[in-house]
Structure 1
């Protein structure tokens, strides 16, 4: 309870939106009650329907920078959740980027090949 009061005073000093503030509060509440990983993520999603991985990661890093949070286990739980979802987001973006670039490269090489054959035919005539 003391952590929640200190956390509220810390977050009020920052310019934070309502959704991130709620996510931050439930993140700390869930972590202090012993929830970890998927259970903590599900707890936050149930409490804040607007929550998504990106918002949870941002609220997690905000919590990690909170000087009033000093319990190592709570900080480890928040850190693990934030890093897991941050890396999952990067992996998804990398797959999307690599998928897009390979199709773009294939289309580019195909159009170059078509252009070369068309140019070759013009030269022969």
Structure 2
């Protein structure tokens, strides 16, 4: 485990052990590790799930829940961002989604080529 991931992991375990959950745990980790990212938090959380020394069921559940929340937020699925995360205006979110959907769509009339 790299130094940064270990610091994030330790902050996750410490915060969860102290009873922090959700946004409070996320903010605690970000304060302790300012250069962290959603992806790094998810990876550190998964490391905690694999660590046989972590035996507190509540800590494991909280860390797992944060990993899921962060993964969904990273994908743009979670509509309740953390308080420290910038919040886009609803119109901007809809425009981005429409543009993404348009970029992924297949034109109705695709030329058919035969060889």
TM-score (norm 2): 0.68
What RMSD in Å do the two structures reach over aligned CA positions?
2.5
More helix by share: 1
Greater C-alpha Rg: 1
Aligned residues: 92
CA shift, 1:70, in A, is 0.9
CA shift, 1:32, in A, is 0.6
1:91 corresponds to 2:76:
yes
TM-score (norm 1): 0.63
Q: Distance in 2 between matches of 1:63 and 1:71?
A: 11
Within the candidate set 53, 77, 97, 1:68 is matched to: 53
Please give the secondary structure, in 1, of the residue aligned with 2:76: helix
Structure 2 unpaired stretches of 5+: 78-92, 111-115
1:60-104 deviation digits (Å, cap 9, x = unpaired): 001001111111111111011001111222235xx9787335146
Pairing 1:1-125 to 2, within 5 Å after superposition: 16-91=1-76, 99-100=99-100, 102-103=102-103, 105=105
CA shift, 1:43, in A, is 0.4
Structure 1 unpaired stretches of 5+: 1-15, 113-125
Moved over 6 A (4+): 95-98
